Amino acid sequence: MPVLTTPSRAPMEGLERLMCGYQQGDDEAARELIRRVSPLLLRYFLVQAAGRRFAEDLVQETWMRIHKARPTYRTGEPVLPWIYAIARYTGLDYYRRTRRVEVREEQVEVLPERAAPATSGAAAAPDLEEMLAGLPASQKEVIVMLKVSGMSIEEVASATGSSAGSVKQKAHRAYEVLRAKLARGVMKA
Amino acid sequence: MNDDAMERMLAQAAENPNAAECDAAIARAEAALLKDLRPARRLASPMTLALLFLAVFAAVAFLFAARLGLGGIHALSAAQRANIFPLLLAAAGFAALGLTREMRPASGRHLGAAALAVCLAGFPLLFLANFRSLGMAHFVREGWPCLKAGVMVAIPAGLIAALILRRGFVLSWKMAGLAAGTFAGLTGLAMLELHCPNLNVLHIVVWHVAVVATSAAMGLATGWAADAIRRRAASKRLHS
């Protein structure tokens, strides 16, 4: 089943060591952790609906919460599920609040411009946000955690507070939708 | 398009987002976090925390029961004591485990609702098996003080649980509130089993078990309010 294959873990190796260093007040470890995890968090928030406008702010807010929560990280446990669990609730807090505000806002005549796609060498690459557009938020987050961060099914289940079976089901459904979209030629292959 | 091609597409699309956006996010996080970085004191292990919650359960239930009178434990037979108190301790242990999970991100599924369901389904069955009906005389007049006393014991137990919860990092205060409310309700129930000498099964099933339900509802409502306040504060930070 293709859904179960995950990208190489190599770039994410050593995160546990960095997190322990960060917990102990090591500047260099914290800097390296921020450098390696921030792009993942940014990508996570970018693919969420209405995330682009505030994606960078949400990454910042997530780091503030991670900083506050760092005593609760346990040595030897995978870091990414712990970080994504915090990011997930940061996003939920934000979306719940803004959804209420946006309902009351008037519709704008000109839609805000999307930020330019990734720069050099990425012109022909498909855009992840475009690919995942239209999927429910729960399926998007599962695909991002599996495919962008290379987390295992069990780690995604731990980050989302659900069962491994539920994660597999969401990923499978997301793949079905993506396959159908590709078959209709909705996305640029 | 086959699955492999789609996997490749996803992998390609999953490359880093806009480099300028990434650099800006990294610079902001570094500026905020590294200026005054100090070692953080690690949270105690889940086992230690669970034992701490159980100690709170036992201490609060016993102290209040001792103050109000230990008529209940004297009225119970040895078999009833052997059936009820170990199960009360086991339920409190399950609720304590749920509380420790709320203190750490990514520590597993929420157990508050499951603990409440176990209590609301299990304890009536346990009491039905251990006591017999003595009629409905003075049902409300005798029951209401028990509910009030149980809830009055649950409130301090819930407050102590909340203080311990604050040592961790609670992601959902609503779920933590439900777990804390259930735990506190069990403390109230344990106090009533130690204190109340009324052995009428209807009285115990309705009024004693109602302490758990009432306390869980209070915990859920308090957690929901705490979440709303926190969300408002976070939203202000984001929009400022």
List, for residues A130-150, the tens digit of each pLDDT value.
778 888 888 888 988 888 788
H or E element, residue B53: helix B46-68
Q: What does the alpha-carbon distance between residue B24 and residue B227 come to, in Å, rounded to a whole number?
A: 30
Indicate if A97 and A19 belong to the same structural domain: yes
Could you tell me if B128 and B47 are in contact, meaning their C-beta atoms sit under 8 angstroms apart? no
Q: Per the structure block, which two tokens stand in for B173? A: 């205060």
Residue A102 confidence (pLDDT): 58
Domain boundary among A60, A89, A104: A104
Indicate if A98 and A143 belong to the same structural domain: no
B200 three-class SS: strand
Q: Per residue in A74-92, pLDDT tens?
A: 988 899 999 999 999 988 8
User: Which of A43-57, A175-189, B79-93 bottoms out in mean pLDDT, i.e. has the lowest?
Assistant: A175-189
Indicate if A18 and A100 belong to the same structural domain: yes
Sequence length of chain B is 240
Domain span including residue B175: 46-232
Inside any domain, residue A116: no
Domain boundary among A71, A104, A137: A104
Domain span including residue A49: 12-104
Q: Per the structure block, which two tokens stand in for B171? A: 């992601």
Q: Which of residues 148-167 of A touch B (CB under 8 A)?
A: 148, 158-159, 161-163
b/e map B122-139, b = 16+ CB within 10 Å: ebbebbeebbeeeeeeee
Read off the pTM. Answer: 0.84
User: Which of A41-50, A68-77, A168-177, B129-138 bottoms out in mean pLDDT, i.e. has the lowest?
Assistant: A41-50
Inside any domain, residue A6: no
Predicted-complex ipTM score: 0.85
How many structural domains does chain A have?
2
Indicate if B8 and B56 belong to the same structural domain: no
For chain B, what is the total number of helices (H) and then of strands (E)? 10, 0
Question: Can you give the CATH number for the domain in which A60 is found?
Answer: 1.10.1740.10
Nearest CA in chain B to A123: B13
Residue A56 confidence (pLDDT): 86
Q: What does the alpha-carbon distance between residue B160 and residue B48 come to, in Å, rounded to a whole number?
A: 16
Instruction: Choose from B42, B227, B229, B239 for mutation: most chain A CBs within 10 A.
Output: B42
Task: Chain A: give the shortest CA distance to residue B86, in Å.
Answer: 30
DSSP characters over A141-171? HHHIIIIIS---HHHHHHHHTS-HHHHHHHH
| Widest distance between CA atoms in chain B | 76
Q: Which of residues 22-41 of A touch B (CB under 8 A)?
A: 22-27, 30-31, 34-35, 38-39, 41
Q: Per residue in B218-232, pLDDT tens?
A: 999 999 999 888 888
Mean pLDDT of chain B: 91
Question: To the nearest 5 percent, what fractions of chain A are helix, strand and coil?
Answer: 70, 0, 30
Tell me which residue has tokens 């949270």.
B43
**In A, which residues are within 8 Å of B30 by CB distance?**
31, 34
Indicate if B176 and B66 belong to the same structural domain: yes
Indicate if B178 and B213 belong to the same structural domain: yes
Contact A61 B103 (CB under 8 A): no
Inside any domain, residue B21: yes
pLDDT at A95 over 80: no
